[in-house]
Amino acid sequence: MSCDKNRVFDEYTSIPDAWNKDSIVTFNLKNIDSVQAYDLFINIRNNNNFSYSNLFLIAQIQFPQGKVITDTLEYQMATPGGEWLGTGFGDVKENKLWYKEDVRFTEPGQYKVSIQHAMRKSGSEEGIEDLEGITEVGFRIENTQN
């Protein structure tokens, strides 16, 4: 078994059946060292029911004092030939997606990270109501590699 010395926080939430566009996955971060710099990742596990080559997410960090940072993110999930990116055997692939690097949590207290999908069908303004194929959403904090 290998040692994961860079991991500071690593948690997943299971997505039953389909990920509803109004379903927000939230991670509560406690006791994060305010001096250390960190790299942040969003981890996505998908199966063959995910029928898109890209994934659009809205990620939000809520600071203890009330400040909120919101990002709209796009990640490539498959090659142009349709082969899944990520690691894993069988139907489920895991993607460790860069979110932010060299982040410092300088405010004392609890931070919240929220993630929801922002998928739309091409040419449509309406969001996809229930996104199939995403089985788990995770959030990971690692010590920076500087």
Domains in the chain: ranges and CATH:
13-143 (2.60.120)
The CA–CA distances, whole Å, from 69 to 28, 91, 102 equal 15, 34, 15
Q: What is the pLDDT of residues 20-56, one digit of tens each?
A: 999 999 999 988 888 899 999 999 999 999 999 999 9
Percent helix, strand and coil across the chain, each to the nearest 5: 0, 55, 45
Burial of 140 (0-12, 13-18, 19+ CB in 10 A): buried
One-letter amino acid for residue 126 of the chain:
E
One-letter amino acid for residue 116 of the chain:
Q
**Taking the model in full, what pTM does it have?**
0.91
Q: What is the pLDDT of residues 93-138, one digit of tens each?
A: 999 999 999 999 999 999 999 999 999 887 777 889 999 999 999 9
